Chain A
Amino acid sequence: MYKVKVYITLRESVLDPQGTAVKGSLQTLGYSSVEDVRIGKYLELTLNERTENIDQAVQEMCDKLLANPVIEDYRYEIEESVAQ
């Protein structure tokens, strides 16, 4: 089995209203050193051992569905795990 961790973030050029609100809240709490907050998504996929070209497969999944390339960037980590 493979465990794939996918991180999706808004592109640098895209404003993140949620992140801006959270930054404001953190600063209100007194964390004045917070310069910026960007909110993203974290997905965990479990793929079975029949997966071929796992790297290419995950990339395709991200391009087609998991991320929207117009506003989002993604990166992922593939870990091999022993089946239970």
Chain B
Amino acid sequence: MKFAVIVFPGSNCDVDMYHAVKDELGQEAEYVWHDAESLDGYDGILLPGGFSYGDYLRTGAIARFSKIMKEVVKAAEAGKPVLGVCNGFQILLESGLLPGAMRRNESLKFICRSVSLKVRNNQTMFTSAYGQDEIIQIPIAHGEGNYYCDQETLDKLKANKQIVFSYEGINPNGSLENIAGIINENGNVLGMMPHPERAVDPLLGGADGLKLFKGIVKQWRETYAVNA
């Protein structure tokens, strides 16, 4: 499986994302600069964390109009897996690929530590390697992860089981319904504030994030490789 790691000016988790799929899982991966005009040939798209365009105006607001985002939208519409982590999630929200918006953390503090997450839906192409309601440890590092959407959207997210990860125990940022990660209706675009790519090796403090990437690869193999 070949992954594209999109790099915006100000991305800073691109190397971790690349490491997760390339070194840990032995998949193909390439960095793709934000003004590239094509994502042809890639099977999965990874939007890394960081501070694209310095978070100017709003987090993700400017990155969302990068040339590459047209291609990301196309890939999402084609059903390819698209994963946005942290700033990547914020960009997915701004682009409308996922519903809702981010507010400042309730505490107004930038929070960088490991948190407990509950896998609230393991029937997705990203979470099939986890158990339903499994509690996992994944680090967060953000100042704006306070997810918000209107009631109608929230009802829809719940009804469609689009809330994939929620904070367990302590809600670090004040997000609605303890939301840590949501998926689109088609089930191929996942946005999450916690960083699975920073939890892919016990030496680095935990490997609970690795299953997410394994899930993507497994799904892809089952869809394409088996039938090939």
Number of A-B residue pairs with CB-CB distance less than 8 Å in the complex they form? 37
Known: A65-B57, A70-B148. 5 other contacts (CB 8 A): A17-B107, A18-B104, A65-B65, A68-B61, A71-B101
Residue A15 lies at the interface, judged by CB distance under 8 Å to chain B: yes
The prevalent SS among residues of B at the interface is loop
A6 CB, nearest partner CB in chain B, Å: 11
**Residues of B bordering A, CB below 8 Å:** 57-58, 61-62, 65, 93-94, 99-101, 103-108, 146, 148-150, 174
21 sample A-B contacts, Cβ–Cβ < 8 Å, listed by A number: A10-B103, A13-B150, A14-B148, A15-B103, A15-B106, A15-B174, A17-B103, A17-B105, A17-B107, A17-B146, A17-B174, A18-B104, A18-B108, A21-B108, A65-B62, A66-B57, A68-B61, A68-B94, A70-B100, A70-B149, A70-B150
**Residues of A bordering B, CB below 8 Å:** 10, 13-15, 17-18, 21, 65-66, 68, 70-71
What B residues does A71 contact at CB under 8 A?
101, 103, 148
What A residues does B104 contact at CB under 8 A?
17-18
A70 with B108, Cβ < 8 A, contacts A14-B148, A65-B65 known: no
What B residues does A65 contact at CB under 8 A?
57, 61-62, 65
